[in-house]
Structure 1
Amino acid sequence: MMAAIKVFVAGHRGMVGSAIVRQLEQQPTVTVLTATRDELNLLDLDAVEAWFVANAVDQVYLAAAKVGGIHANNEYPAEFIYENLMIEANIINAAHKAGVNKLLFLGSSCIYPKMAEQPMKETALLTGTLEPTNEPYAIAKIAGIKLCESYNRQYGRDYRSVMPTNLYGPNDNFHPENSHVVPALLRRFHEAKLADAPEVTAWGSGKPMREFLHVDDMAAASVFVMNLNGDTYQQHTQPMLSHINVGTGVDCTIRELTETVALVVGYKGEIIWDTTKPDGTPRKLMDVSRLKLLGWAYAIELEAGLTQTYEWFLQNQQSFRS
């Protein structure tokens, strides 16, 4: 029988954190620990250190982050770099000082150069210029990877990092301006359908290629990577290249995504493309061969995942923060 463990999920109210909690709650030997912002300010190092000492944590999933789409990253670069740097530094250092040997840091595919060879391999990190629209956020996430690598190298910790592709699903941020592309489109088409609007405007040309992973798949991959045997994990990573990509290995154009969302929502009007708005990176497809070699692959196809997410949106729209 496996021994019971106490697992802290930082950022449990967010999309990824809540999905990880759902995964972990299915395991009878796991006690999930969480803390709201009122209970623990992750920007306060003293408070974070005291919390770790008081709770005798065995594992940490570091899913807490300040996140947003192109608009939010452009408008609030200082908050994006500062808050993300502080959150990850405080948690990783406090976990180490409290003797926590296992931690999983959740990064982002934006760590890779804007013009990285596609699909993007883990080895592309730090080989070129980042996408300017989210550079502060990307640099913070790169710092998180390097924090984990540094504590592993200096102190022998087992701190791992996973880099997800674009995520969507329950508990996403559906704010009309500060959200990512999938929730923004779902909300826009839903409101257009209710208003019987003849057309909907979408940003950019629709030509960029993007990959999308349902957050429940991301949570499953996170738990899988966290619990991999150490020797098995190290066979597919390197001491100074410890992160692993998580995605589907399949992408589509933003135009195809937009048309699929319209289909899922049931919007019948016209889609107008505003080419004065930025497209962002031309293509972002993850090379997920490492994760496949380790034995994990995604399960939720895009249209099915979008349908499920729209159903969640309909059931929860009254409680959105925006």
Structure 2
Amino acid sequence: MKWENNRQSDQVEDRRNNPGGGVPGGRRLGGRGVGLGTVVIALVAGWALGINPLTVLSVLSGGDLAPSAQVESAPAGPASAPSDEMGRFVASVLGGTEDVWGQIFQANGAQYAKPRLVLFRGATPTACGTGQAAMGPFYCPGDQKVYIDLSFYDTLKRQLGAPGDFAQAYVIAHEVGHHVQNLMGITGKMDQMRGRVSEREYNQMSVRVELQADCFAGIWAHHNQKSGAILEPGDVEEALNAAAAIGDDALQRKSQGQVVPDSFTHGSSEQRQRWFHTGLKTGNVQACDTFASRTL
């Protein structure tokens, strides 16, 4: 992956020198997070309401893209440009997502609101409560920030068998996909349904949300593949391998020796690969309509 000479985002907030992030006991402030490692929210999909959430693309023609609910944000330090290699890598990937989604939103008559990305170690305060490394990377709609403890990349490589810088970039692009869902109105509108459905239905809807974020990550990869800006031979395979490694069936088989499909919250390895590939192949937001799809 060729990233060294690419534009770095100025939306990176580095808290790694402040272990624990001054967490004041994990008070929940509002909003809830969505992560690759552990589900800390179910963004309830329009599928449950009989609505195609991608119809919210009409919002892009001039509607309000910001979440309707206003919540108190956790303390935030100034955005900074990390000087270490991994920090610069993250800033470069985030910058690439900004370019891609900025173009897509602009083509639909709207301006893309960039998310912040917070680097932390161990734990940190967020508008969704205390963020912890054990959650894996996650997105908090309450403050529109992506949170990453970079130790997750070691887990991805050593424990889950998914090495490679493009696999790491896929993780960021997936979380940014949740930010895009938030801007599209899916998060705020469908979160109102939380608690109104059974646990099984809740899980099924969470799967559709996660698979759409995988598809959105594929859209980011599509535009980079088309431009030839960063992709090198083997990069796409790294992302597909990562998608397979964090499939619910793969994680359940590794942790408990059996697979329980009704408990899936992110989708199977095959599903995650397929939806990432859908975004990669088409580069089309409409093609990422996991909610209207009868089969995942």
Interval of TM-score (by shorter of Structure 1 and Structure 2): under 0.3
Which structure is larger by alpha-carbon Rg, 1 or 2? 1
Q: TM-score, normalised by structure 2?
A: 0.27
Q: TM-score, normalised by structure 1?
A: 0.25
